[in-house]
Structure 1
Amino acid sequence: MSTTPTQPVTRDQPEILKPSSPVRDRYFDLLRALALFRVVLYHLMGWAWLPLVFPSMGVMFALAGNLMARSLRSRPPLHVVRGRMRRLLPPLWLLGAVGVTGMLAQGWGPDAEGHPGWWWLHLTFWILPLSDPPYAEGLAGIQGLVGEDWAAELAGPLWYLRAYLWFVLLSPFLLKALRALPLATILAPIALSAAFEFGYLALPGERFPSALTDFSTFGACWILGMAHQEGVLKRIPQYVVPSVAPAIACLGLWYALEHGFRQGHDLDEIPFAQSVWSFATVLLLLHLSPSWTEWPDRLRHWRRLITLLNTRAVTIYLWHNACILVAATLWDRLWNVDVLADQYAWLLESPWPVLVLVWLLIGGCVVAFGWAEDLAARRKPRLWPDGAERGRTAKHR
């Protein structure tokens, strides 16, 4: 049995964030770390139930919206948008420099889309991802190291950067709308998703409808994060959210089950169900948000790992699909060892050793490419920013 991943690239992938320090952010850091780990696990295993247990992307968009609203309260909108774009783009450019160079080396070029002029224009989306950056389809891999169609795996996660960029650009307007009409603003994306789902509105064009789909699917989560920061959710009686959120989640789950939700057919293929389920889960998680000035005892031993995952969230997110492909390709080579194939087939069929190898490769990417996040944040580049140095400094004060 081959361990090469067959799960299609989905939209289940993390937020562009700086490590946070205020009171509530330790809880948010934990949510980010869980979401990032769950993303990697899902893209290797392909278990359709994982997005139900923890809808990572809804959570990540909510945390990003919360951070965006916090910044907009104290700084001019133009400065905030420019700062978010500065943190987003350099890691993308580094990925593009590696990926596009590799695609060009394998023969990808201006004739790939049949219109050389459009190819050059679309290539600019690797610089500013207002739409999906193009990539070469059906490329051969490197025998024994990288599987086929590696470019699609490399470019797959970029939908999140595109969606994040659009949310950032819209945030100043969304915040004004939220302050004026809180309930209508929060529910508007779900209403838009329903309009697309039931045919009341049609997605226009060919290249940009994906941005509208992203907004209708995850926009309510982003705005919920902003509403949490603005104190809107605190004005709701305490009993309302625990009473209403489960019912909303059940509606989303029911709709998903009625429309073919199963293994290999995840929530991303049912945007309306995704929007409702993610909204309900995020609403409940924000309602339960504890105030952690220090890490709880049961999490204290994990604080360095959580810090690392948050500090290098962009790098891990951008490179994890490629790491999965490389890990699976390398693991499959062990089938050529007769002793292993005959005596330990059960081990070669198991995805768990591949998961370990994936995280080792991700660790290598953190060391090799993580410096781009530091430069984007105007920090001194660090190889392994898990907070250990900061902890030692604090002890000696």
Structure 2
Amino acid sequence: MSWEQQPYGNEHGYRYEGHQGQRRHPQQSYAHPGQVPVAEPPGQPSVQPSVQPSVQPSVTAAEPAPDAPPKGGHRAGRRRGLPAVRDRYFDSLRAVALVRVVAYHTFGWAWAGLVFPSMGVMFGLAGTLMAKSLERPAPRVVKSRLRRLLPPFWFWGVFVVLAMLVHGWMPGRQIVYWIVPLGDPPGNAWGEQAWEILWYLRTYLWFVLLSPLLLRVFRLAPVPVLVLSLAPVLVLNFFWDAPDNRFGSALWDLATYLFCWLLGFAHRDGVLQRLRPAAVVVASLAALAYGGWFAFAHRSEFGTYDLDEIPLAQAFWSAGFVTLLLYFKAYYDVDFAWLPRFRRLDRTVTIFNARAVTIYLWHEIALILAVPLIDQFWKVPAFEKWLPLESQWFMFGIGWVLIWIAIALFGWVEDVAARKKPKLLP
């Protein structure tokens, strides 16, 4: 989850998915039983001016970086001096990923990950921005990412921790993970639906800390390292059982999304542009085929074909899917520059990207609160007669109303973390 907010120019007319595999907690119900895994995590630096035709964002705020030469593409030769602008292609992908996460937690659709693997997409976009940010000194970049991610997490955590304390939770030494989530923060069953999404923040945080080393290794032999990045999940699945604890959970999630993170490096460094279309398409389809086959072939073992329950299938399906998305972007230099013509849609995409951490952290609480709120509607005869109170779609709509309220009430924390003037809406 690169939670990055970047300033907007006009261009002249302009992170839950649940824990993987065995680590997934039992599903909980909302209005009625259903499945309850991120951006995308859902947070970090303000825009980094570049001479590239489009800035490649992530879900936090990026700090200014020195001008970098264009990475390629048919419009890479634009003259210097144009205002820095958001890459609306990446922004749109992130917005779709967040909507898909909320929909998955509302309806529990097992097929949702096959249609759009949100977390793989989010990690791929975050890897791209991390590689760009590391054009600056690594300690400064890591410090910036932590500064932009942790305050929104702490603010949200105060509400969740206090609620669990009121409901009988007795914390131990592991409460330190509520300060820096290098491991899964502890909690009780009462608040599980709210805190179990934190696996994404934990995984993102580890990728941020490891990125300086990962980027150096990647640049030694980009394509071989990218291919070999799928090896860890194969080892964990077939040759070594990771311990059933915080360390094991972290290993599984890092192994599952390592390819997507490094794929972001490949996009930023121009590696994808140098590959032949036929080779990329064949390799991507092969990864998709293997991931899909493994999910359905082991459906009886896992009890579902939901990719969030099957790490190996998730890793390969996300690898193939995200490769096609980023290669399409790199090869054709797509930037969705037409999006500003649709002002309301463009505004929505803008808010989603500027408040990605807020949406990710608060969406489960919004869905939880939607249930008792809808229960009150039953007490009004007119509502009972004319509103589809039993429909999960109605709960989905109420959930988004509450998410927008959370954006207005708590989104300013992201501005404070980015050292910007707090705003009601970005």
Q: Give me the TM-score of the superposition, normalised by structure 1.
A: 0.84
The aligned counterpart of 1:319 is: 362
Distance in 2 separating the partners of 1:125 and 1:196: 25
Amino acid at match of 1:164: Y
- 1:194 paired with 2:221, answer no
Q: Evaluate the alpha carbon distance shift between residue 3 and residue 78 of structure 1 in structure 2; reply closer, same or farther with a 3 A threshold.
A: closer
Q: Which runs of 5+ in 2 are unaligned?
A: 1-28, 56-86
CA contact (8 A) 1:46 1:264 kept: no
1:10, CA displacement in angstroms?
2.1
Q: Evaluate the alpha carbon distance shift between residue 42 and residue 264 of structure 1 in structure 2; reply closer, same or farther with a 3 A threshold.
A: farther
CA contact (8 A) 1:7 1:46 kept: yes
Alignment of 1:41-56 (within 5 A): 41-56=103-118
CA contact (8 A) 1:135 1:152 kept: yes
Distance in 1 separating the partners of 2:305 and 2:375: 25
1:172 paired residue among 184, 209, 212? 212
1:87, CA displacement in angstroms?
0.8
The aligned counterpart of 2:54 is: 23
1:5, CA displacement in angstroms?
5.4
The aligned counterpart of 1:33 is: 95
Q: Evaluate the alpha carbon distance shift between residue 294 and residue 344 of structure 1 in structure 2; reply closer, same or farther with a 3 A threshold.
A: closer
1:17, CA displacement in angstroms?
4.9
CA contact (8 A) 1:248 1:276 kept: yes
1:163 paired residue among 177, 182, 203? 203
- 1:349 paired with 2:390, answer yes
The aligned counterpart of 1:92 is: 153
Distance in 2 separating the partners of 1:191 and 1:293: 34
1:13, CA displacement in angstroms?
5.3
Q: Give me the TM-score of the superposition, normalised by structure 2.
A: 0.79
Alignment of 1:58-69 (within 5 A): 58-69=120-131
User: What is the CA RMSD across the aligned residues, in angstroms?
Assistant: 2.3
SS in 1 for 2:389: helix
CA contact (8 A) 2:260 2:318 kept: yes
2:299 paired residue among 232, 246, 260? 260
CA contact (8 A) 1:3 1:331 kept: no
- 1:122 paired with 2:153, answer no
The aligned counterpart of 1:362 is: 403
The aligned counterpart of 1:153 is: 193
The aligned counterpart of 1:109 is: 170
The aligned counterpart of 2:271 is: 232
Distance in 1 separating the partners of 2:108 and 2:248: 26
Distance in 1 separating the partners of 2:358 and 2:364: 11
Distance in 1 separating the partners of 2:347 and 2:184: 34
- 1:6 paired with 2:33, answer yes
1:275, CA displacement in angstroms?
0.1
The structure with the greater share of residues assigned to helix is 1
Distance in 2 separating the partners of 1:299 and 1:233: 30
Q: Which runs of 5+ in 1 are unaligned?
A: 111-118, 138-148, 386-397
Distance in 2 separating the partners of 1:63 and 1:273: 20
The aligned counterpart of 2:337 is: 294
The aligned counterpart of 2:143 is: 82
Amino acid at match of 1:312: R
The aligned counterpart of 1:114 is: none
Amino-acid identity (%): 46
Q: Evaluate the alpha carbon distance shift between residue 3 and residue 168 of structure 1 in structure 2; reply closer, same or farther with a 3 A threshold.
A: closer
SS in 2 for 1:348: coil
CA contact (8 A) 1:77 1:172 kept: yes
CA contact (8 A) 2:184 2:202 kept: yes
Distance in 2 separating the partners of 1:79 and 1:19: 14
CA contact (8 A) 2:298 2:305 kept: no
2:134 paired residue among 72, 82, 85? 72
1:269, CA displacement in angstroms?
1.1
The aligned counterpart of 2:242 is: 203
Q: Evaluate the alpha carbon distance shift between residue 13 and residue 231 of structure 1 in structure 2; reply closer, same or farther with a 3 A threshold.
A: closer
Bigger Cα displacement from structure 2, 326-335 vs 85-94: 326-335
Q: Evaluate the alpha carbon distance shift between residue 315 and residue 7 of structure 1 in structure 2; reply closer, same or farther with a 3 A threshold.
A: same
Distance in 1 separating the partners of 2:375 and 2:110: 24
CA contact (8 A) 1:19 1:310 kept: no
Q: Evaluate the alpha carbon distance shift between residue 265 and residue 237 of structure 1 in structure 2; reply closer, same or farther with a 3 A threshold.
A: closer
How many pairs does the alignment contain?
359
1:323, CA displacement in angstroms?
0.3
Q: Evaluate the alpha carbon distance shift between residue 209 and residue 263 of structure 1 in structure 2; reply closer, same or farther with a 3 A threshold.
A: closer
1:335, CA displacement in angstroms?
4.1
